[in-house]
Amino acid sequence: EAGVAQSPRYKIIEKRQSVAFWCNPISGHATLYWYQQILGQGPKLLIQFQNNGVVDDSQLPKDRFSAERLKGVDSTLKIQPAKLEDSAVYLCASSLPRKASYEQYFGPGTRLTVT
């Protein structure tokens, strides 16, 4: 079974530029999550999708971050404009539908450096 795929793996941009990350979840996983992990911290949830609907985006900085999951499979997370404090690893995770399993499986992540 293929795992969660993410791209790019690394990205370096200047502040005020925009950037987009892509995620393809494990086949059959209806729930998709985007996390931000700052060095030395645990992952922090940014947004959660159930199929193509947003379940929780309470911690997403909506003035600069946006995310979508068209057709309930792939997802894109965008930052525009980027700030220095956005430097982090952006992790995508997926899980089976509710009542089946709450275990989340992570992709390899995208390491973003904002200069």
Partner 1 sequence: QKEVEQNSGPLSVPEGAIASLNCTYSDRVSQSFFWYRQYSGKSPELIMSIYSNGDKEDGRFTAQLNKASQYVSLLIRDSQPSDSATYLCAVMNYGGSQGNLIFGKGTKLSVKP
Site string for partner 1, 39-58 (x = CB under 8 A): -xxxxxx--x-x----xx--
Encoded tokens for 68: 């979508």
> Is 109 an interacting residue with respect to partner 1 (CB under 8 A)?
yes
Q: How far is the CB of 6 from partner 1 (least distance, A)?
A: 9
Which residue, 42, 40, 113, 110, is CA-closest to 82?
A: 113
Q: How far is the CB of 41 from partner 1 (least distance, A)?
A: 6
Distance of CA 100 to the CA centre of its chain: 22
Q: How far is the CB of 42 from partner 1 (least distance, A)?
A: 3
Residues that bind partner 1 (CB under 8 A): 31, 33, 40-45, 48, 50, 55-56, 89, 91, 98, 102-109
